[in-house]
Every structure is written in structure tokens, then in C-alpha cells.
Amino acid sequence: MSDFDEELQAEPNLKELISSETYKWIFVGGKGGVGKTTTSSSIAIQLATKNPNKNYLLISTDPAHNLSDAFGEKFGKDAKKVSGLNNLSCMEIDPSAALKDMNDMSVAKQGDAEKQGSLNDLLSGGNGGMLSELTGSIPGIDEALSFMEVLKHIKKQSVDDNEGSEFDTIIFDTAPTGHTLRFLQLPTTMSKLLDTFGGLTKSIGPMMNSFGGLGKGFDINAVNQQMEELKTNVEIIRDQFTDPSLTTFVCVCISEFLSLYETERLIQELNSYDMDVSNIVINQLLFADGDDECKRCIARWKMQKKYLGEIDDLYEFYHLVKMPLCAGEVRGLDNLKKFSEYLYNEFDPVTNKDLVFSLKHDF
């Protein structure tokens, strides 16, 4: 291998990601059960501890939220600081609560107490909160609401340009692969839809305006303004998501066939969206060389090594971060802090083997 090729080797850690000054959006995703939440929480903790002057937000877009469990404290739909870390907040998006919020906001805007009647009842309690349950179960609603959260932050950035957004970087703990890909397609899909809606409203708009005096509550000018704003924001998001200096996707996998296969498909899909992928975290490695007495571990490690070889070969120019399978669960801030160190400084199975058995178990 030439000197140039040696220099061009990507380091097996996330130092570049964590030290970066430019990232605004970091997605962490992969197949189910590979350690996305652990990895996204660890990345968020490393970002927060290594950059104390910046603010970070970790959002879970997985309908089966795990963040509260990972940190050992309850998070909700509003960003809440993590106990023990002043510059890291977490958020778990709840579709029905978010929809109720939207309704409350729009009712407050209209300022008409009568209108709070039926829709509010439907969303909150009336008829058993039927609408809330119904809308909460629409496929893709979590992705749509996560996207709205992104829109909110984009809007804040453009409005408060001098002050900037409340958070410097937002980390997404994403749902398993399919949901995430749908979410990432939203900017392109919405952009196309808004373009076509523009055409529809062009033909309906003047007609609706001429009937403006007949119907109250429908202001075509306001709708047009909102659509323009939405279109602008969606295009900003699309541009930011495809800018490798602003957005990156961290793939998490384990060293097994299905996970490797899905990781490759995910990376190819992300490439087709022009999204940057430069980091891959390989979790749950056994490192059962040497004097390990467990025959099962040795056999499993042999299988993992086979796929590790393929990973090294396929992802030559990616930052491959190899993380161990610990004896205990990586839950709670202390355990996450210990674990997350080895995203920054690569884990050595010989010198760092204490990590495997050092995690606290008192939950």
C-alpha cells in the first residue's frame, strides 16, 4: 500500500464527526435491534461533552421510543435537558399529542372560543379521543411529524438569523430502515406536491376569492402565504439534507449477514438521495480471541470476523467504528458516557477490555 493510500485510510472512530463545526443534522439509523438508540445517545453525549459551548438536541423518530429508557429518565414531546448535561436535550415525538398541540395553536390563532368545540373534543377526549387515535395510527404519521419538527427548526433558523436556532446540531435516533427512508424522501415528495398544489390553487384561487364574501374562515391569501413559506422551508431542508457539510448519516449495524445486507442497501439508497454517509458503527462484537473459554463466543466471533472482513473490504473509505458487546446493558447516563468514549477513541479489545464488565447494573 502506498503512502498516499495509507494516509487516505479513514480513522476507525467518530472523531471527525464529533469535532466537526458544521454539522446541523446527524441521522443515526440501521436495522432493528443493532443499537441505534445506544449509538445515537452515545454520539449525542460525546458531542455535548466535547463541545460544551454548543447545544444539542436528540430526537427520537422511532414510534417505539427508547430514549427515556436509554437515559433512565422520562422525555416527552417537548425538548427536555438531560440531567447531568446542560447542553443536551432529548425529545420523543408523540403523534397524538403533537396533533392536539397543532389544533390548540390554530384555535388560539382564530381566537374563537366556539370553534374549540368539536375538533378539540375529538382530539382530546370527546368520543374517546377518536380522531387522535385515528390520526395517530396513520402509516407515516411519525415521519410526517418528525419532519414538521425539522421544519420548525428550519423556520426558527431563518427567522432568528442573528440569534440562530436554539440548537446547533440535531441528532435523530431513527426508526428501522424503511421508516427512515420514507422520512428522508419527504422533502422531495413534498416539494413536488407543493408545486402541483400551486397549479391547482391557481385555477381554484381566483374563483375562491370571488366567493370570499360568502364563506368566512377561508382566507385564500393566507393559505397561499403559508404554502409559499412551506415550499421555501421544504426546499431549504432538501438542500441542507444533501449538503455533506451540514448533514450526515451514521449507519449502525452488527456483524451478521442480514444486517450487513441491509446496511449496504441503506447506504445505496442514501447515495441515491445524495445524502452523505461516512461513518459506520459495528456493534455487539465479541472480540473472543485469546483466552476466551466460552465455545459459543468463539464460534460466534468466528462468524463475526468473516463479516468484518467483508465490511472492511466494502467500506474501505468509511470510518468503521468497532464496538464491543458488553456484559451489562448500556443504559443510564453513566454507562452511556463510558461506552461513548470508545466512539471517539477506538476500542482496543486488549487494553480496553475492562469496559465489557464495568457497566453498572443497578436499574
Catalytic machinery residues: 62
Rounded to whole angstroms, the Cα distance separating 249 from 208 reads 44
Q: Which is nearer to other proteins, 47 or 190 (CB)?
A: 190
The one segment of 80-88, 113-121, 158-166, 257-265 that binds other proteins by CB under 8 A: 257-265
Smallest distance, Å, CB 344 to other proteins?
A: 16
203 binds other proteins (CB under 8 A): yes
Contact residues for 326 (Cβ-Cβ < 8 A; gap 6+): 339, 355, 356, 357, 359
199 binds other proteins (CB under 8 A): yes
Q: How big, in percent rounded to 5, are the helix, strand and coil portions of the chain?
A: 55, 15, 35
Contact 62, 28 (CB under 8 A): no
214 binds other proteins (CB under 8 A): no
Q: Which is nearer to other proteins, 297 or 314 (CB)?
A: 314
Smallest distance, Å, CB 314 to other proteins?
A: 6
Number of residues that bind other proteins (CB under 8 A): 51
- The amino acid present at 311, given as its one-letter code, is I
115 burial type by CB count under 10 A (0-12 exposed, 13-18 middle, 19+ buried):
middle
15 grid coordinates:
472523531
Q: Which is nearer to other proteins, 72 or 198 (CB)?
A: 198
220 binds other proteins (CB under 8 A): yes
Smallest distance, Å, CB 16 to other proteins?
A: 7
What is the 3-state secondary structure of 291-357?
A: CCCCHHHHHHHHHHHHHHHHHHHHCCCCEEEEEECCCCCCCCHHHHHHHHHHHHCCCCCCCCCHHHH
Smallest distance, Å, CB 200 to other proteins?
A: 5
Spell out, one character per residue from 171 to 190, where the chain touches other proteins: x when CB under 8 A holds, - when not. Answer: -----------------xx-
Rounded to whole angstroms, the Cα distance separating 141 from 96 reads 10
142 binds other proteins (CB under 8 A): no
257 binds other proteins (CB under 8 A): yes
357 binds other proteins (CB under 8 A): no
Smallest distance, Å, CB 64 to other proteins?
A: 25
**Of the candidates 103, 31, 89, 87, which has an alpha carbon nearest to the alpha carbon of residue 62?**
31
Q: Which is nearer to other proteins, 224 or 352 (CB)?
A: 224
The correct pick among 51, 68, 191, 352 for binding other proteins (CB under 8 A) is 191
Rounded to whole angstroms, the Cα distance separating 6 from 4 reads 5
Contact 201, 224 (CB under 8 A): yes
**Of the candidates 29, 36, 152, 146, which has an alpha carbon nearest to the alpha carbon of residue 94?**
146
What does the binding site for other proteins look like in residue numbers (CB under 8 A)? 7-8, 10, 16, 188-189, 191-193, 195-203, 205-207, 209-210, 212, 220-221, 224-225, 227-228, 231, 244, 257, 260-261, 264-265, 267-269, 271-272, 276-278, 306, 310, 314, 316-318
